[in-house]
Structure formats: C-alpha cells, structure tokens
Structure 1
Amino acid sequence: MPQLPPGLSHRFSALRLKAVEAHARRSTPEARQGFRRRALWSGGALGAVVLALGLFLLLFDWNLLRGPIGAFASARLGREVILAGDLDAQPWSLRPSATVNGLSIGDPGWAGEGKMVEIERLTIQMELLPLFRGRTILSRLELTRPVARLQRDAEGRATWDFSQPGEASDPVDLPAIRRFIIEGGQLEVIDEQRGLRFSGGVEASEVRGGDAGFALTGDGNLNGEVFRLRVNGGPLINVNPDEPYPFDADIRAGATRVTAKGALPEPFDLGRFGLDLTAEGPDLARLYGLTGLALPNTPPYRLSGRLVREGQIYRLDDLGGRLGDSDLSGSLRVDVTQARPFLSADLRSRRLDLDDLATLFGGAPSTGSGETASAAQEEMAQQLRAQQRLFPDATLDVHRIRSMDAELTYRADAIEAPNLPLRGARVSLTLEDGFLDAQEVVFSLPQGAFAGRISLDARPDVPITDLDMRLTRARLEQLLPAGEGGVAPLSGDLVGRVKLRGAGASVHRAFANAEGEALLVVPQGEIRAAFAELIGINVTRGLGLLLTDDQSRTPVRCAVAHFKGRQGVLRASAIVFDTGPVLGRGEGEIDLGRERIDFRLDGEPKEPRLIRLMAPVTVSGPMLAPQVGVEAAGAIAQGGLAVALGVVAAPLAALLPFLDPGLAEDAACGALISDARKAGAPAN
C-alpha cells in the first residue's frame, strides 16, 4: 500500500478516530432510542403535512381558480376565456379528472364580441401512468352541448386561427382518447373567402343504433349551391391509441361530390391521416371552396387517388381519372407551412383531347356527339357559336390566383385534334405571388413545333398577359386540308412568331387590348399552278387549270405576312407571296376585339398574260368563318416589278431577324432580296 505524506497521514488518522467514537456513542441504547423518537416525529410531521394537503385538496373550493385559469388561458390564446360555472377536480386517483361548467372562448377583436366556442359542460379524465412513458392518454373526454361558431372574412382572417400573422396554423392534434362523447354539439361556419355557410350537428355517442361512433352531419350552401356534409367515425368506446381510427366522409356541393374512406393512424391527431379519395363534378375550379386551391377551369371530371396528410404537407398519390375526354394521371403535393399554400404537381395524359384545353381559358369544349361538357359549358359554347366568336369573356378571379403559389409540369403523349396535326404537348409553369409564368409551352408537330412562353401577371388590378410563341420547321401540307387527289394546294416550310401583350381580366379583353406583332414566313415551297395564276387573276389560264384538274405546281420563292398590333388590331405592314409566275401583295387587318378579318390580295404577273382581270382577291368576315371573294369594283394601280420588289425586300430584310436570325440566309427568301437590289430597289 502506498505511503501517505506525513501531514496527510496524521489528519486521516484523526478523522478515523472521531468516526469510531461517534459510532460507539450511537451504539448505546440511549442513543438508539433517541434516534427512533426523532424518526417518528419526522414521519408524523410529514404524514400530517400530506394529510393536511389531502384534506385541503378535498375540501378546497376549486371555483377560486376560475379567474386565474381564465386569465392564464386568455393570455395564451389571445382572446377572452371565461369559466362561468362550477369548477370541480378529482386529483386523488390514477385517473384524475376535472369538470368545467360554462366554458366559453371569445372571438378575436376583428370579429366583434361574439363567442367562438361555448360548452355547457366539459369533463376531462387523464391516465397518470402513461405520463411516465411520455404519452398522454385521456381515458374520457365528454362535451355537453358544445357550440362552435367559426368565421373567416374576405381577407382570410379566421377565428379558429391562433397562429402569428404570416404563419400557417398548426393542425389539431388531440391526445389519444379512449372514450370520446359529444352530446348535442352544433357547428356553424361562415366563410366569406370561400362563399361557404354551414350549420350542422355533431354527435360522438357511446351507443348509436347499437354501435358507438362519431357523426358530423349538416347542410348549408357553398357559392350559391346546396352543400351537404356527412362524416362518420368508428366506435368510440375503448379506443386503442396504438391502432388507426377509421372514418369516412361524403361531401356534396351542387353537382360536385367528394367521397373518402380512411383512418387516423394515431387517434386523434388530425394532422396525420390517409384516405382513399374520389372526386367528381362539372369543373375542378369549383373545388376552391372546399380546398382553398385555385384550380383551373376544366370539363366535367372524375378523379381518384390516395390523399395523405403529414402535418402541414398534403400528398395526392396515384392520381388517375378523366377530365372531359382526356385521361389524367400523376401526383400532387400541397405545402401549407406558409401563408400561401404551395402546390407542386407532375401530371400526364396518354391522350389529350385538344378541345378540353379551351376550358382552361374560360371557354367551352366541343359539345357535339360523343363530347363531354357541363350544362354551363354547353350554354357558353352555344353563345360563342351564335356570336361567331372564338375568345371567351369569362372573368378571371385574380384573388384566387394571388392566394397560392405553384409549380407544375404536364405532358401529353398524344393529342386528338381533327383539324391540326398535333402529336404531343408539354408545359412547365410556376405561380408565385400572383405571377403565373408558363416558361415552356410546346406543341409538337409531325415536323417542327409550336412553342414558346406565356405569362399572366395578376398582381395589378387589371391582369396583364404576355405571349411569345414561335412556329419552327413546320410543313404547310401538314397544316392545310388536302384538296382533290389527296394533295394540299400549297406545300413547303412554314415558320412564324407571334408576340403580344394585353391587359384584361378575360381572354377576350386581353386580346382586345393587345399590342405587339406577328410574322409568318414560307421560305420556300410549291403551290398548285392554278392558284398561283389566280393571284394574278389570269382568267383563261387559272380557271382553265382548275377546271381541268391540272395538278401541276409552281415554286413559291418566298411568302411573308407581317402584322403590327395596336389596341387589339393587327394591321399588315407587309403581305408578300412570290411565286414563279406572279408576285402577290396584300393588305388588311385582324381585329382581335371584334374577332373579324379583312384582307385583299392582288398579283403582278412576271410575264405577259393574254386576258387578266384587274381585281383583288378578298378574305373577310368573322375569324371563325371568313368568306373568300373577288373585289369586282375598281381597278388596281399597276406598278413596275422593281417597285414591287422594293416594297417587299426592304421590310423583309428587317423582319426576318425578329423570326430567326438565320432565316435571312435562306436561298429562296435571300433571292428575293437579291432580285430587288438588281432591279434598283432600296433594300437593306
């Protein structure tokens, strides 16, 4: 054993000696008897304190705590909490309980002086032992004649929202409840933001038709339509907190119906559940009152999927069904952690019926035999046909656009469009703070594509639409209907661009105020010789070729149509059609507000003609049904070919970069500019 230093060794010996002496003194009978007396006195004193505390708690008037408890709850909730009736507690039990009579929770200041919640009697009983394992289990929760009056104003302020401004409210997360009883409950909801008024009854009974369960039933109206809600839950006796609690729901608002069947994995945490959902109705946009999401207008739909909630995140997985005559599949995700919900979606159609897209812009799908449309959409289609109009005038609800953010991708593998050779489509868009930006909008063709960008700025009082779309590497013979013999009268490449900006709360009003320009170019191609001759109105040759079904063709060296848009009217600054025998020139306008067109085209022959009628070809009337004719009155002033080429070539050189910087080098259109220079035209 190691030796201690002399000083420490001496002090250690002294302490050990004192301990031995103290033990000897306690070992005497007198010492042991004194120790027992002191222990008895201490135990008695402690027992007296416990007994006194028990008697105090048993005899204590709990009503004295109503004021302090109400003040504490009021401070925590930010609104007045009153305990008007008797307060009673039974603390001495492994299942302590408390009963409150006359409990009320007031509305926030902005909602007036009403009561959000009034409960005639509330009884809570808790299990103590699970608390030591970190679990809260209520063995009993009973509410007698509770009344909840919930309000949300047009600005989105809700009386049931206890969160801080700019933050999303937390979902209701009740602890596990083994016996849940609601007797004579009433629920009233007035939601000005979503146009909902509802009044219903709530019951959670231990015996109901031989079975226990939860029931919420009620009726009201949603945006002027009859609204009905039915929610039923499983038995409420001996609820196992470790087993899911099943429920089902049936919600109807007019022709819209939503049914669900699912479960709460942890009763009664409403922040987490999973359910199988089916929704059907005339228009997805009508789900705004139920979901708070600004969904687009659609044809009648039937969709189903698996809806899962995890706190502030909602997911709709395995989405499938139909919108109009188009199929739809994919997934959705909604994040409500911020003040504005954020929707992200990845959607796909194997086959898209093109006319279903009209509803996205407030229009109507086709309503013929075999087509799917709601009664309102059929009425709209009938009005548009009667007025010979293309652009719908349905007003955009900018408040809905501003109420959420989104990110969406969509693709269609195939498109059904009887009059257009569209093969597929894809769209990628974002919505943030009222600005909708479709960065990628692509419609693929057998050759080439019609693609670009479309945006909608809903932040101003009057929304602004920007459109910039390009037609690239398309073929005329695929876009034009075939004539006799199955051959299109015109063939060749077609490229173009349209760039417009318009203010208006509907598609029609945005186009009626549009500013911008549009350009179409046929850099090279062929035209049936008879039609080329008729541009110059050579009656003997042009009509002769048509009458004999002559299919001979002549080259199109270059064709250009350029328009400048102002206040909804696209006026032609250059219309040129240069073929082998004829140089055609045109003028006219497209009135997007009135939806009418008015053009005339005359031709200058490049070689002598025996008989030539000096009258232009006209195209005029509604955009949907223009009429082609000949302007018989008046004569066309003739000009030299060099002058005509100069009028064409100078603008052409300036316009082609707007469409495609490389197009000016094309052999055919480039030849037109070269010919103009040789003829003395001031082409740049």
Structure 2
Amino acid sequence: MPRPNPNHPLGPRLARLRERSAARTAALRAWAAEARRRHSTPEARRSQKRGLAIFGGVIGGLVLVMALFLLLFDWNMLRGPIGAFASARTGREVILAGDLEAKPWSLKPTATVNGLSIGDPEWAGDGKTVEIERLTIQMEILPLFRGRTILSRLEATRPVVRLRRDAEGRATWDFSKDDGRPSEPLDLPAIRRFIIEDGRIEMRDEQRGIQFAGQVSAREIRGGDGGFRLAGDGDLNGETFRLRVEGGPLINIDPGEPYPFDADIRAGATHVTAKGALPEPFDLGRFGLDLTAEGPDLSDLYGLTGLALPNTPPYRLSGRLVREGQIYRLDGLGGRLGDSDLAGDIRVDVSNERPFLSADLRSEMLDFDDLATVFGGAPSTAQGETVSERQLAVAQQLRAQQRIFPDSTLQVERIRAMDAELTYRAAAIEAPHLPLRGARVHLTLKDGVLDADEVVFSLPQGTFAGQIKLDARNDTPVTELDMRLSGARLEQLLPVADGGIAPLSGDLVGRVKLRGAGASVHRTMADADGELLLVVPRGEIREAFAELIGINVTRGLGLLLADDQTRTPVRCAVAHFRASDGVLRSNQIVFDTEPVIGHGEAEIDLGRERLDLRLDGQAKEPRLVRLMAPVTVSGPMLSPKVGVEAGGAIAQGGVAIALAAIAAPLAALLPFVDPGLGEDAACGALIAEAQRRGAPAN
C-alpha cells in the first residue's frame, strides 16, 4: 500500500489505519503458528479422531433410526390421506381398501396397492369405474435426474373396468373438467414390464348404441424374438370382437426412441390392421401407423370410431393414420368401395364436444349403383357386382315387392353425434341406363342438419343439379330436395336398343322440388309435398309415334310396320305434377306435334310406388280411319304396362277445345323451370295459338 502524503488533509488518519492493520495481521499469524504447534502433537491427533467418530456415530444413528422407522412404518396409515388426495384431484371417490406396501430403499422403489377402486361420477350413480385387486408400480430413480420417467414394472391383477356413456354424451371415462371439452390423450411413461392378469372390460354406450363385454390381458411373449402382447376378446353388439397388439420387447424401451407395434382388430366381419410406432413411449396422443380396413359396410365402423360414416358396399381402404393430440389425419387414403375406386384425405378434430370430420375425396370411376347403399338400398346384384349378404337380402326384398325406394331406417342419433364438411368428385360414372358423365358434391353437417348445398351430375349435354337438405334434429327427420335438369337432350336419356334410333329427340329441362318427413327414403317419399315439371321446348318425334298418340290405326301402324323413320317436329311438351302426401297428380300434360296435340292426366303414388297415366290425342287434320281411344300406362313404377283403354273410344272433337283446355296455364308453369321458357319460340307458339283460339293467357 503506498504511503499517505503527510501534507494531504487525510494523511494522518490514513497512517493510523495502516499501523492498526499491520498489527492485526501479525497477531493472526502468531495465533496460526501456535495452533499448528499444538495440533501436531499425538495427543491432538487422537482427540480429532475421537471427535470425528462421535460425529459419524451420531449421523449413522440418525440414518439407522430413520431406516428402522421406514422399515417398521405402517404404510396403511397413508391409505386415507392418499385416497383423499386422489379423490380431490379426480373428482371421484378413490378407495384403497387393502394393504399398502412399499419398498422405498432401492434405486427402483416399489409400491403395491391392494383393493384399489375408483368410483363413477355423481351422474352415473354409486357404481365403480375401476376395481383392481392388486396394483404394483416400480419406478427407476436414476433416469429422473435426466428428466425421464421410466416404470420398471406396472402390474394389474384382476382389474375390472366398467365404462358407460349416457344418451347426453357424459362418459365415466372422461376425467376432464366440466367444460364440454374432452380429456387430453393418455400419456403414460415408458414401461419396461407391463402385465395385466385376468382383466375384464364392460362397456355400455347409450349414445352410440354399443354393448361390449370382454377379457383383456397383457404380458411379455416368451420364446422367439420375444416382445409384448396385449390381447382382448369379447362380444360387441352380439358379434365376436378380437384385439391383438404386439410390440417390441419392453425391457429395451427407451423414452427417446420410437416404439414399434402391430395391431389387428376384428369386430364381426370388419377387419382392421395397423403397423406403426409411438414416437415417445407411451404417449398415446401422438403416433403414426399404416392402416388397412375392410368389411361389408363402412357404417359398421361407427362402434370403433364414433364417426357417422355412410352405408356403403363392401370396401377395402388403406392410408396413413396420424394422431397429433386431438387431431387425427388419414393421409393418402386409397382403395375401393364396391366397384368404385376412392382416394383422398380425411381429418378429424375431437377437441370439441362433437368430432368434426373434414374430407376431400375423389373417384376416377364411380359405379352409379353403389350410390344406392348410401340411401339404405343395395347395389346391383348382377354377376360380377360387389355386394354384401345384408345388401343382397335388401335387393331381393325390393325385387319381390317391386319397389324402388328402400325402407332402411336412418339412425338420426349418429348424425347428431358429429359435424362434418365433405367435398367429393367423380371424374367418370358407370351407369348403363343413364347418360351420366361425372359428379361433384359439397355438403356440411352441423348440429344434426346435413346440407348438400351442391349436388351436380354432369350429362353428355347439360346437368342435373341442385340441393338436398336433411334435418335430423328431431326424431323424425325432414328432407328437402330441389333439383333442376338443364340443357339435356331427350335422345341421350331415352333407352334405345343397340343400333336403334331414339323415337324422340330434342331439348329437355325440368325441376323437382319435394319436402317429406320420414326416417327412410320410402317413408319420406310417401309423405312428400311439392311439384315436378318436365318441359320439351323443341324437338322431333317419329311420325308413326305421333300418329299413334291420336290412335290413327291405319297410318300409325303402317308407318311402324314399314319401319318409317320420318320425323315430325315437337313444338312443345309439358308434364306438370303437384305432390301431396306422397301422391303426384298431374296438373298439366301437353304434347304438341304437327299432326296431333296430346293431353293427359296421371297419378304417381310414391308410397305405393304405382303409376297410372292416361293420354288422349286430338288430330289436327281429319282422318278417314281413326279409333279415338286413350293410351294408358299403369302398374308398378318399376315395370308399368302400356295399353289402350278398352271401351274408351270417344267422339272426335275440335282442336280449339283441346287447346283451350290444356295450353292456357303454360305461361304460368314454365318459369318454375326457367323464366325464359315462356318466351321460347316453340312453347311460346303453342301459348299464342291457344290465345288466338280464344283460350285465356293465364
């Protein structure tokens, strides 16, 4: 330290402090030298050892007392506090009825609970969700210092799990807060020895209509390459259920490495296989696996998935299933439904009260008869067609009853159980008796209302497009349909034998608007109200057929026998029906050609599926040989018979009377399909002619 300047104002004071510090340093050095001299003697060293021995004895005694206390401690005294703590955390009554055993002095401490039970929530009554005769848990201590939790052993002896969900959607296995949101996915630590002995699961799901009872077991596979197996066998809604999950040896499990596994599930005729891995064992909220599913009907997967999938023909589909928390994705979906191919992607969000499914699907070729299954019907049962036994029975019943509309009941509770948005496109359609070329559909399902706001079938010319809405919020669903036929051609819609020529050609437009209540297609149609209108604003017909409308026997039959292909213009044809309680009654039927004007009446009973039509013709020129008898079409809609009404000959009347009776209302009807039709050159000419002959304009 530099000496202080004596001339500085603080110099004398700093000098005194320097002297005092030097004195203290000298005193400490002298004390240290004396202490070293005294402790270096044999007597001093013996005294030090005695002190350390006494200190060690005290510490060892304390450890021994603590060890004896823990070894002799009655762990059953903790059953009550542990049960109370668990009850507070879960909101359920948790009881530890049997002995509580512990082995804490180990790098792998073990705890065993005998007689563990977890009660049902209050709404479910006084039952037990879980009962386990004996539960043993062993944990590894050292991995905890690396931030990892590993269970050396998890063993459950004779566990019984009783699961229930009521009609309101409340589930006994849901331990989440009462906020309408589902609980988080199960996230277990890595387990190196997992054993379930004589387990049993019982499930009653009132919302999905599921009953299940079965046994479950889990253990290491002995022999071969070893590994782990989880097995379950039982009865699911009266059908055999089988589950097998196999994975690698648990003893080698590493929390930082993926755990591979295979799964095989059979529920009745449905078979699902999967091969994948858990990226972080055993976080069940995140995994990826290659999935294949096959069975007679996609709707059968409702019990396994909770998704209201449509009825389908037998299917085989595969894709990559990925779970990320509350989101499931099925990527690269591909396969077949019946005789149609299907591809696309599906996403399901289960984070809310109801799952939300979004899908973008497509087909290169849609077999049109496969669509019948969506409405509870059956696809074609011809040779080479894909059909399930259940659908074959439906087809046989419909044929025996000569019916078109199926009576399979719609399960409205399934529609209410989820929300959805779907887009579907078919690049081509195979429909031997219909000129369909492609299709696209967009629909949403929300709060029990299915709204297909875009339904489009493309034709060689024109489209058949509109909207369909199904309201399933009540026990009896209500269906509304509004479809328009635009820009179509008659010759492309009428069936013609190979090499034949269509007897009728021309433009065709139309609209059908119906509303009906019923839990099946048949019941909905039997209740339908609304209207149907078909219009041919211009076209041509074989002259022989035009003559036969007026039953000119000599000329009409002569032309047919001569295979005469002479054609005559169709100026306008209109068929208008009003529907009430499932019966379509004609309001107007007009068929105007150059030689004949036809008019008729008809009734179509959608409930009984019968058709009765009567068509009269009025020649525009006098005929030498003529039988004035109405043409009739009657019988089942599936196979009506064409004939001539016996004893129906009538006197020949004037064309003006016919025009006045049938053409006047057309100006009011045509805008139902297209506002411009009333001004059309052909139908407009018919209306103008009726006005010239004294008929009112509207």
Alignment TM-score, normalising by the size of structure 1? 0.91
Residue of structure 2 aligned with 1:197, choices 201, 212, 220: 212
In structure 2, the CA distance between the partners of 1:242 and 1:503, relative to structure 1 (3 Å rule), is: same
Within 5 A, what are the aligned runs for 1:578-657?
Answer: 578-636=592-650, 639-657=653-671
Cα drift, residue 551 of structure 1: 0.6
Q: Which residue of 1 aligns with 2:445?
A: 431
Within 5 A, what are the aligned runs for 1:398-437?
Answer: 398-437=412-451
Contact 2:627/2:649, CA 8 A, preserved across alignment: no
The aligned amino acid for 2:163 is L
Structure-1 separation of matches of 2:23 and 2:278: 70
Contact 1:405/1:432, CA 8 A, preserved across alignment: yes
Cα drift, residue 215 of structure 1: 2.7
Cα drift, residue 332 of structure 1: 1.4
Contact 2:203/2:210, CA 8 A, preserved across alignment: no
Cα drift, residue 49 of structure 1: 11
The aligned amino acid for 2:385 is E
> Cα deviations across residues 496-537 of structure 1 (Å, max 9, x unaligned)?
000000000000000000000010000100000111111111
Q: Which residue of 2 aligns with 1:322?
A: 336
Moved more, 151-160 or 336-345: 151-160
Q: Which residue of 2 aligns with 1:562?
A: 576
The aligned amino acid for 2:130 is V
Cα drift, residue 303 of structure 1: 1.5
2:87 paired with 1:74: yes
Structure-2 separation of matches of 1:290 and 1:187: 15
Q: Which residue of 1 aligns with 2:154?
A: 141
Q: Which residue of 1 aligns with 2:361?
A: 347
Contact 2:214/2:235, CA 8 A, preserved across alignment: no
Cα drift, residue 483 of structure 1: 5.8
Structure-2 separation of matches of 1:83 and 1:31: 67
2:103 paired with 1:101: no
Moved more, 6-15 or 171-180: 6-15
> Cα deviations across residues 623-669 of structure 1 (Å, max 9, x unaligned)?
01111111132344655433433333332111111111122222111
> Cα deviations across residues 407-445 of structure 1 (Å, max 9, x unaligned)?
111111111111111111111111111111111111110
In structure 2, the CA distance between the partners of 1:498 and 1:146, relative to structure 1 (3 Å rule), is: same
Moved more, 396-405 or 601-610: 601-610
Residue of structure 2 aligned with 1:231, choices 245, 251, 266: 245
Structure-2 separation of matches of 1:504 and 1:7: 112
Contact 1:81/1:105, CA 8 A, preserved across alignment: yes
2:123 paired with 1:110: yes
Contact 2:200/2:213, CA 8 A, preserved across alignment: no
The aligned amino acid for 2:341 is D
Alignment TM-score, normalising by the size of structure 2? 0.89
The aligned amino acid for 1:667 is A
Residue of structure 1 aligned with 2:545, choices 531, 534, 537: 531
> Cα deviations across residues 241-281 of structure 1 (Å, max 9, x unaligned)?
22222222222222222222222221111112222222211
The aligned amino acid for 1:248 is D
Cα drift, residue 614 of structure 1: 1.3
2:380 paired with 1:380: no
> Cα deviations across residues 135-185 of structure 1 (Å, max 9, x unaligned)?
323233333443333333444433221123421122211012233333444
Q: Which residue of 1 aligns with 2:181?
A: 167
Cα drift, residue 375 of structure 1: 1.3
Contact 2:194/2:218, CA 8 A, preserved across alignment: no
Structure-2 separation of matches of 1:64 and 1:326: 67
Higher gyration radius (CA): 2
In structure 2, the CA distance between the partners of 1:208 and 1:563, relative to structure 1 (3 Å rule), is: same
Cα drift, residue 187 of structure 1: 3.5
2:291 paired with 1:277: yes
* Matched-pair identity in %: 75
Contact 1:455/1:466, CA 8 A, preserved across alignment: yes
Moved more, 326-335 or 642-651: 642-651
In structure 2, the CA distance between the partners of 1:409 and 1:21, relative to structure 1 (3 Å rule), is: farther
The aligned amino acid for 1:142 is E
Structure-2 separation of matches of 1:373 and 1:518: 33
Q: Which residue of 2 aligns with 1:3?
A: none
In structure 2, the CA distance between the partners of 1:477 and 1:336, relative to structure 1 (3 Å rule), is: same
Cα drift, residue 369 of structure 1: 1.0
Structure 2 stretches lacking a partner, 5+ long: 1-7, 40-47
Cα drift, residue 44 of structure 1: 8.7
Within 5 A, what are the aligned runs for 1:212-611?
Answer: 212-482=226-496, 486-611=500-625
> Cα deviations across residues 345-378 of structure 1 (Å, max 9, x unaligned)?
1111111111111111001111111111111211
Structure-2 separation of matches of 1:10 and 1:545: 148
Count of residue correspondences: 676
The aligned amino acid for 1:105 is I
